[in-house]
Chain A
Amino acid sequence: EVVLTQSPGTLSLSPGERATLSCRASQSISSNFFAWYQQKPGQPPRLLIFGASNRAAGIPDRFSGSGSGTDFTLTISRLEPEDFAVYYCQQYGSSQTFGQGTKVEI
């Protein structure tokens, strides 16, 4: 099973700042099958990025994804108040796993 480890566990930032979230896989995975989700309290997760770097429909361009192999990154260029949430990485394809999440807090 592919284990995804996210870092940091919590990121404390202010609106307008840049957020950089990391996700490391226990073995190399195809970037075609890597995604990021955002979850706010009391809501289901929302797909942000698929295929490592493609924004899902309706996702603002301040969100960007990059990476390959075992190391992937989600960047939020300038944090808006609504971006403070928990972010999960996911690998999918023939198997699926989620990372443990990174909380972005004010």
Chain B
Amino acid sequence: QAHLVQSGAEVKKPGASVKVSCKASGYPFTSYAMHWVRQAPGQGLELMGWINTGTGKTKYTQKFQGRVTITRDTSASTAYMELSSLRSEDTALYFCARSGVIREVIYTFDVWGQGTMVTVSS
């Protein structure tokens, strides 16, 4: 059974960076893409970007270009999302989610991590 487990909650000061991990189990890690989606308190879902875990190729939403870096460690079946230059508006619940991918075409997000709360406060 496919499962994604994320790292724990983080509290960061403005200007700092945060790195969240997402460990996959129960399926061949490099056969699926991994996405990062965030949700500010009381708000909707916001796509940040994704990584083709097989090739390492990434694609970022324009809003986060230059501030987000998504990587993976295939030996550990783990994906990472690092967000830099944090500001208060980055306070949100961050999710990883798996999807099928064929030649850069993404399919549904069928397995989700439990979410990692990142709080940015001075």
Residues of A within 8 A of B (CB): 33, 35, 37, 39, 44-47, 50, 56, 88, 90, 92-94, 96-101
Contacts and interface: CB of A to CB of B under 8 A. Distances in A.
A88 B106 CA distance: 17
5 contacts: A39-B45, A44-B115, A45-B95, A94-B105, A96-B106
B26 interface: no
B97 interface: yes
A44 to B, nearest CB: 4
Contact of B106 (A37, A44, A92): A92
**Interface secondary structure of B, over-half rule:** strand
Interface in B64-122: 95, 97, 99, 104-110, 112-115
Contact of B108 (A35, A97, A99, A101): A35
A88 B95 CA distance: 15
Contacts of A92: 99, 106-109
Nearest to A88: B45
B88 to A, nearest CB: 22
Given A45-B45, A101-B44, A50 B112 contact: no
A100 B106 contact: no
A46 B105 CA distance: 21
Contacts of A99: 44
B44 A44 contact: no
Given A44-B113, A45-B109, A45-B112, A94 B44 contact: no
Given A44-B115, A98-B44, 6 more contacts: A45-B97, A46-B112, A56-B108, A56-B110, A97-B47, A98-B46
